[in-house]
Amino acid sequence: MKICACCFNDEELKQFIISSSKERIDCPYCNSNSESIDISELLDFFSDFFSVFSNDDEGITLSELIQQDWNLFSDDINVQEVLVEILQQLKINLKTTDRVSYPQEITECIEHWDTLKKDLKWSRRFLANAERLIELKWDTLFGIYSTIDSSNKLYRARIHTDGRKKPIGKDELSCPSKEKSKGGRANPQGIPYLYLCNDINTTFYETRVSYLDIVSVGIFQLKEKEELKIVDFTQWQSPFNAFSDDSVNMIDFVKGKLLRQRISKDLSKPMRRFDSEMEYLPTQFICEFVRYIIGATGIQFNSSLHKDGINIVLFEPENVQCVEEQLYQINEIEIKSELILSASEDVSFGA
């Protein structure tokens, strides 16, 4: 049976099919006319990939878990139908309707993030069990890096609280001194890190500008020509890449991907006005783990406030300098809302 590139969302799988294809077909699964290969050419990958799932009466179906965590297949196909064909050819004791989850080795590793968060907030803050993280191989699971070099421009904004329409100065656009440094998403109080963005608009969202605010934006670049290596929580990795790399173990790959995904969600979560700064303790801990155990010079993660925006945190602010300052006025703000409750007059919203 043939399957085509359009049957998949996974870019690596799609590219493999396109590069291996010898003919285009009218696909029986998604009705597209596209490059195709025989489904048997993907059996080794799926055999390796399915090995990370275990039968679990309290889990969810195989097809649901694959789409939920991996978004492997296109929405235009019947995932059940494709998986039935693959499972039949593999001749393994697994059905698409079987309830599955990840084996204990994986769940124990990724669920320790929730345990660690509770520990840091309510049990032990300064002597967190780093040894346990090493046992779980966390020091090997963050190895997805991006680099920053002298050609990269990064941005940081500050709102003029007094409304003046004059530049505040490049020094003021850098991070505060140790004495004035407050705790943030990445840094503990008294340990300043430099928070930057990949584009100017993201800085406006991250600083939560208001209508008619005057904002100074600093453009930062590396002082030296050498690259900075930062842990990247934004990259999506394909399981097909892991399968294609003989040096990568699929179980370890899944651990790393799911763990980084959980941590990335907490890194991106915006602080609400009534939230306690204790909510930042777990991500502050992760940044120190990345800095001192892994040896990276920073992290980057997705902005939850601006689609496609990326936030960069540098642990050593002296590695970059503000090369230019620009002045902006915010002339338009768009607010969108979602109705979450409608109450009649005799229903109290509560305190």
What rounded mean pLDDT belongs to the chain? Answer: 91
The pLDDT tens digits of the residues spanning 99-158 come to: 999 999 999 999 999 999 999 999 888 777 778 898 999 999 998 999 999 999 999 999
Specify the pLDDT at position 271. 72
Tokens of 195: 């928070």
The confidence score (pLDDT) of residue 341 equals 87
Does the CA dihedral 40-41-47-50 come out positive or negative?
A: negative
115 Cβ contact partners less than 8 Å away, ≥ 6 residues apart: none
Q: Are 142 and 185 in contact (CB under 8 A)?
A: no
Closest CA to 216 of 307, 321, 308, 322: 322
Instruction: Give me the pLDDT at residue 226, please.
Output: 81
- pLDDT for res 346: 57
Q: Of 267, 163, 155, 273, whose CA–CA distance to 210 is shortest? A: 163
Distances 129 to 83, 172, 217 between C-alpha atoms, Å: 41, 38, 40
pLDDT tier for residue 349 given thresholds of 50, 70 and 90: low
The burial of 122, by beta-carbon neighbours within 10 Å (0-12 exposed, 13-18 middle, 19 or more buried), is given as exposed
Q: How far is CA 13 from CA 8, 39, 236, in A?
A: 7, 12, 13
- The β-bridge partners of 322 are 220
32 bridge partner residues: none
Q: Which residue has the higher pLDDT, 342 or 33?
A: 33
Residue 325 has pLDDT above 80, yes or no: yes
Between CA 315 and CA 240 the distance in angstroms is: 33
Tokens coding 21: 């294809």
Note the pLDDT tens digit of each residue in 156-214: 999 998 878 888 999 999 998 999 998 889 999 999 999 999 999 999 999 999 999 99
Task: Give per-residue pLDDT as tens, 218-276.
Answer: 999 999 878 999 999 999 889 999 999 988 899 999 999 999 999 999 999 877 666 77
* pTM of the full structure: 0.88
236-248 pLDDT tens trace = 889 999 999 988 8
